[in-house]
Amino acid sequence: MSELNPFRIAQQQFDESAEHLGLDDGLRAFLRHPQREYHVTLPVRMDDGKFRCFHGYRVQYNSARGPTKGGLRWHADETIDTVRALAAWMTWKTAVVDIPLGGGKGGITCNPKELSQGEQERLARAYIRAVARILGVTKDVPAPDVYTNPQIMAWMMDEYETINGESHPGVITGKPLTLGGSKGRMDATARGGVYCTREAGRHLDIDWDAASYAVQGFGNAGQFGATLHRELLGKSRFIAASDSRGGVYCAGGMDPEALVRHKKDTGSVGGFPGSEPISNADLLELDVDVLYPSALENVITADNANKIKARIVCELANGPTTPEADKILHDKGVTVLPDFLANAGGVTVSYFEQVQNTYNYYWDLDVVHDRLDRKMTEAFEAVWARCEREKVHMRLAAYLVAVERVAQAVRDRGWL
């Protein structure tokens, strides 16, 4: 279905903002496509001694505001169009939080759950050998995303440094602390989203002690979303969570930390003591104050948007809401905190990590949190003000802020 091709969706969202801003045709044509993209084929020796070929991608969508930046996703359904869409959203994300970087993204089509540690390491190193020449602190800097983690970033950094024969910790972010990672990176995506939720709650007069919330996708972003909501916003009831294997519901509320431990021990949220099972579809339609979609794309569509009862949808995942669904939610009065604003905390602390790597001097955790809070709050307020002023929905308001900044950088460079 073309509606669900993420890159078509990203282009459709951009087109709406370009129309609203009255961008000229040249700029529109330039900004609706990636500047550069690389497709690589990676032969990897498997544990059984045979070779298997994997397909990988790196898309450098736009570098007008600085070196491109964006995560690496390892997923069986990864396609060039998913990577293009995510790279476009990275471009708008770095612009909306106003950090001096462009947008990029990469991926490998694979199922990491079927790969041993050794196979994952050989795949990570093969990818870097294939794309090393286009990476670097002044060119393009990857980071973790779905099914990639600090260990994979560490192997990749090591391979890059081995090829170049010198230290380059800033070539990749989301590294372990021992190798130049930043304090506060692990929970930064969710923390930034919860800061946005806090600000939205201030405008909407939400009493957090009486509120409830649900998390769809209990991975890195979702787990920290669940625990940080409780830590930063008071005693809200955490009533449901799901992962790829199913969901759990408890009207009286669950302890998010205990659910994280349960998932760690059992591999899934399913069977959490005191909970009952809930489908992903039903979880999305729960009557909660905040819904955190934190898994993958296209979960709120024209088919279910009318049934969404949350007051705030804080998109920790990229692309969970289709454009048709956006309009329905807006008309229903649901406040959507759009992905490239709500989950920008990850790239913001990745940027802090790069800055620390460059200085070779490392910040305390409270410094990271303070600076992240300031960045996210400023970005939220700029988008909220635009939304109020122009009477548009939050995603369009975020696009207007971001696209305007990228377009200005393109013009200032004299590219168009």
Q: How far is Cα 352 from Cα 367, in angstroms, rounded to an integer? A: 10
280/301 with CB nearer ligand NAD? 280
Return all residues near 348 (Cβ < 8 A) that are at least 6 apart.
97, 99, 188, 192, 372, 375, 376
219: helix, coil or strand?
coil
- Catalytic residue of the set 69, 93, 105, 175: 105
Angle at 248 between CA 245 and CA 253, to 5 degrees: 155
Asked if 57 is part of the footprint of ligand NAD (rule: CB under 6 A), the reply reads no
224 in Cβ contact with 190 (< 8 Å): yes
Asked if 151 is part of the footprint of ligand NAD (rule: CB under 6 A), the reply reads no
Catalytic, 307? Answer no
280/377 with CB nearer ligand NAD? 280
76 in Cβ contact with 55 (< 8 Å): no
218/399 with CB nearer ligand NAD? 218
As measured in angstroms, the least distance from the Cβ of 181 to ligand NAD is 12
Q: How far is Cα 336 from Cα 315, in angstroms, rounded to an integer? A: 7
The only residue of 141, 296, 313, 401 in contact with ligand NAD, by rule CB under 6 A: 296
The only residue of 5, 109, 294, 356 in contact with ligand NAD, by rule CB under 6 A: 294
Stretch that binds ligand NAD, among 215-223, 248-256, 300-308, 396-404 (CB under 6 A): 215-223
The only residue of 78, 243, 289, 353 in contact with ligand NAD, by rule CB under 6 A: 243
The only residue of 18, 96, 146, 171 in contact with ligand NAD, by rule CB under 6 A: 146
Compute the Cα dihedral for 296, 299, 302, 307 and give only its sign.
Answer: negative
Q: Report the residue count for the chain.
A: 416
Longest distance between any two alpha carbons in the chain, whole Å: 62
- DSSP run (H or E) holding 46: none
Stretch that binds ligand NAD, among 141-149, 150-158, 230-238, 284-292 (CB under 6 A): 141-149
Residue 250 burial (CB count, 10 A): 19
56 in Cβ contact with 82 (< 8 Å): no
Q: Interaction with ligand NAD in 251-290: which residues (CB under 6 A)? A: 280
86/200 with CB nearer ligand NAD? 86
The only residue of 216, 335, 348, 354 in contact with ligand NAD, by rule CB under 6 A: 216
Footprint of ligand NAD on this chain (CB under 6 A)? 144-147, 189, 216-222, 242-244, 280, 294-296, 316-318, 343, 346
Report the catalytic residues. 105
